[in-house]
């Protein structure tokens, strides 16, 4: 695809006040570009949103691993070096989560909302934008659609028309959250895998009998219906627990319920299976059921998840749910600068492009902000090398596939090492190469940034 050429940028409209939209807005603001940020809440809420604030985390409160030998951990570090608003907000509102980076979602949203409201170059407008041709978007030099995977039906339809066909979609499932006061602490215990003294996670041990009874209940549980005209397609990284259970009796025990590294202090033995609960807030008053994203009906969730030892009297702060995620076939629909091939003054950012996950969505918005900010100064910035995590993620959006699917960041999106290495060493080698390439690229573009 040829890159779009927007010759002059001084005013930009951004549709969507999520992670990608706010990241993009901040970078443009720092370049002296005036941004009008349109957010439909509280005028209208998507099926998964509840807070009025910006950058609401509707699924997990975790930004996943912070380890520097993991793709997502390294991507976060690259974002920090590029001045990411998401990363600074996460550091300011983080909660204990072992080797992961997790946040108090209310404080996180409030932090970013405050940053946007206090930014002199950002005008926050609480209004729904129903289409790419909405009159509110007239007069801007560029329009960024960062409406996320839950874009309204009307905006999604307008986008589908612009890309020349029916847009792609998949279903995403979120896990329930329970009140800490309702957990039976005589059965649950603190600890992370191999770290019994760690108090970042609560663990609910299951015996063989309890596990298989729970598994059977998941299989038989009544699911929330899917609309007749929509084919149900789940992203592999967000499979509902009941869909995973249908793959086999031991799928959960070998997956998110794996007991390896745990000893139940009540018995001194390794449990047959274990359900981990991750703290949702700084006060540890709420816990997310890790790996329990679900499309079960609410009554069924209460009944089945209370079969987990320690959760017999669980009070649900939020039930799990399923929602439709919208994204485009980026290699066919977008130019290298994330502009629509059919509308070069319209750009996409975040999960709607086909990246998957909080960190990846924010990184996409951050990068688009950098690109447009450079363009506002009459400059062009080369993309990060494909060996870097950000570069690999952006390359995914340019690589045509028979069946384009959203992707989390991973070293598999970067070029092969082209060297023989033991399996246990490969991640560290990928990470070392990525850090070297990113550092060299960053030094070469400092005058543009």
Give the residue ranges of the annotated binding site. Answer: 16-21
The owner of tokens 């949203």 is 109
Of 52, 13, 38, 55, the C-alpha closest to 127 is 38
Annotated binding site for FAD: 16-21
Instruction: Give CA 250 to chain center in angstroms.
Output: 27
Residue 335 structure tokens: 């130019």
Torsion angle in degrees (nearest 10) through CA of 326, 413, 381, 132: -10
């Amino acid at each position: 695809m040829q890159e779009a050429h927007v010759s002059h940028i001084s005013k930009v409209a951004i549709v969507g006040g999520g992670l990608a939209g706010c990241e993009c807005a901040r970078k443009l603001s720092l370049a002296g570009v005036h941004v009008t940020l349109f957010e439909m809440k509280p005028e209208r809420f998507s099926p998964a949103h509840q807070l009025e604030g910006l950058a609401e985390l509707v699924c997990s409160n975790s930004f996943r691993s912070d380890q520097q030998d993991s793709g997502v951990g390294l991507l976060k570090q690259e974002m920090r070096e590029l001045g990411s608003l998401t990363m600074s907000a996460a550091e300011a509102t983080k909660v204990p989560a072992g080797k992961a980076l997790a946040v108090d979602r209310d404080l996180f949203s409030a932090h970013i909302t405050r940053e946007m409201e206090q930014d002199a170059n950002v005008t926050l407008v609480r209004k729904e934008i129903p289409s790419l041709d909405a009159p509110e978007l007239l007069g801007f030099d560029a329009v960024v659609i960062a409406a996320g995977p839950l874009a309204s039906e009307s905006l999604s339809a307008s986008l589908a028309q612009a890309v020349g066909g029916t847009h792609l979609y998949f279903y995403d499932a979120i896990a329930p959250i329970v009140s800490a006061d309702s957990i039976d602490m005589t059965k649950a215990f603190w600890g992370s895998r191999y770290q019994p003294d760690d108090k970042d996670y609560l663990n609910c041990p299951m015996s063989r009998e309890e596990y298989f009874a729970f598994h059977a209940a998941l299989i038989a549980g009544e699911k929330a219906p899917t609309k007749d005209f929509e084919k149900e397609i789940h992203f592999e990284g967000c499979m509902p627990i009941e869909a995973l259970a249908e793959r086999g009796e031991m799928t959960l025990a070998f997956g998110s319920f794996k007991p390896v590294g745990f000893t139940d202090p009540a018995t001194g033995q390794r449990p047959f299976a274990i359900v981990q609960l991750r703290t949702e807030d700084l006060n540890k008053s709420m816990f997310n059921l890790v790996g329990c994203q679900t499309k079960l009906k609410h009554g069924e969730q209460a009944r089945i998840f209370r079969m987990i030892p320690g959760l017999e009297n669980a009070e649900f702060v939020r039930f799990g749910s399923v929602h439709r995620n919208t994204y485009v076939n980026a290699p066919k629909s977008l130019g290298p600068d994330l502009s629509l091939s059919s509308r070069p003054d319209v750009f996409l950012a975040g999960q709607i492009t086909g990246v998957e996950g909080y960190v990846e969505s924010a990184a996409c918005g951050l990068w688009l902000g950098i690109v447009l900010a450079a363009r506002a100064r009459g400059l062009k910035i080369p993309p990060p090398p494909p060996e870097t995590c950000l570069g690999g993620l952006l390359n995914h959006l340019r690589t045509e596939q028979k069946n384009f699917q959203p992707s989390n960041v991973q070293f598999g999106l970067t070029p092969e090492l082209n060297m023989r290495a033991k399996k246990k060493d490969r991640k560290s080698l990928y990470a070392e190469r990525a850090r070297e390439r990113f550092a060299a690229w960053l030094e070469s573009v400092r005058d543009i940034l």
